[in-house]
């Protein structure tokens, strides 16, 4: 249980650090775009190698495919509601929503995988992706929606606590979750992550950083893929 707690903190602490950076300093748009693009690259690697591939191998195309589409659909629907309420200012809250929707099943999968002695690669991939996501989300919440620093920090800290709890609970319930259920959780997380990339993270990075952010995305993918190797 202590191991699960430490792993959960390992994924959650980068959120708090990233949010503090985004709220404390006004980073140049190009730097922020590069961070978001780098995070997008790490998330692409995590989806392909740590989330969907094992789900597809274990459960097959029907279960993993339906879970993938469901994860994307839940994020897209929730993000659409946010955009209708907040308009152009929605990008910051949308990134936080994405962190929750892909972080909860990811951390559940992380807690479960600890029972088999695994989880380190997923831990690193999630932690690396969480920093720029939180930096970008917190900065945009402050700049475009007028969130106070204390309110934004409280929301990101609450998100971090949720991820820690989910990791511990996932580990505690590992024996009760069938393999197909674990696969569905992994694929759902992959779908939500892909939707975050397509709807929020990558368009925002390109808008603020221009064509060269593709290099940052590739660098993020390479780092996460190398860690997975």
CA distances from 4 to 18, 65, 160, 199 (A): 22, 28, 14, 31
Q: Which residues of the chain have pLDDT under 50?
A: none
pLDDT at 59: 92
Q: b/e for 60-78, b at 16 or more Cβ within 10 A? A: eeebbbebbeebbebbeeb
Cβ atoms of 162 and 155 within 8 Å: the answer is no
Per-residue pLDDT at 17? 93
Distance, CA of 120 to CA of 127 (rounded, Å): 11
> What pTM was computed for the model?
0.79
DSSP string, 151-204: HHHHHHHHHHHHHHHHHHHHHHTGGGS-HHHHHHHHHHHHHHHHHHIIIIIHHH
Question: Which residues touch 190 (CB under 8 Å, ≥6 apart)?
Answer: 47, 51, 52, 55, 68, 71, 102
Q: What is the pLDDT of residue 219?
A: 92
Q: Which of 154, 137, 140 is nearest to 98 (CA)?
A: 137
pLDDT of residue 69: 96
The answer to whether 157 and 60 are in contact (CB under 8 A) is: no
């Amino acid at each position: 249980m202590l191991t699960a707690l430490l792993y959960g903190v390992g994924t959650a602490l980068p959120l708090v650090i990233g949010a503090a950076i985004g709220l404390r300093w006004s980073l140049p748009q190009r730097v922020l775009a590069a961070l978001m693009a780098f995070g997008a690259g790490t998330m692409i690697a995590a989806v392909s190698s740590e989330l969907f591939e094992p789900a597809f191998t274990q459960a097959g195309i029907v279960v993993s495919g339906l879970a993938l589409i469901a994860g994307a659909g839940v994020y897209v629907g929730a993000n659409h509601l946010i955009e209708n309420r907040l308009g152009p200012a929605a990008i910051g809250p949308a990134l936080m929503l994405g962190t929750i929707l892909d972080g909860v099943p990811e951390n559940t999968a992380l807690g479960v995988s600890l029972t088999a002695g695994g989880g380190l690669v997923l831990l690193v991939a999630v932690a690396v992706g969480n920093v720029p996501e939180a930096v970008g989300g917190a900065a945009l919440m402050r700049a475009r929606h007028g969130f106070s620093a204390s309110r934004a920090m409280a929301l990101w800290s609450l998100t971090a606590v949720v991820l820690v709890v989910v990791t511990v609970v996932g580990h505690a319930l590992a024996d009760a979750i069938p393999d197909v259920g674990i696969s569905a959780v992994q694929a759902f997380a992959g779908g939500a992550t892909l939707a975050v990339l397509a709807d929020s993270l990558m368009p925002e990075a390109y808008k603020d950083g221009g064509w060269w952010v593709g290099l940052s995305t590739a660098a993020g993918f390479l780092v996460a893929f190398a860690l997975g190797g």
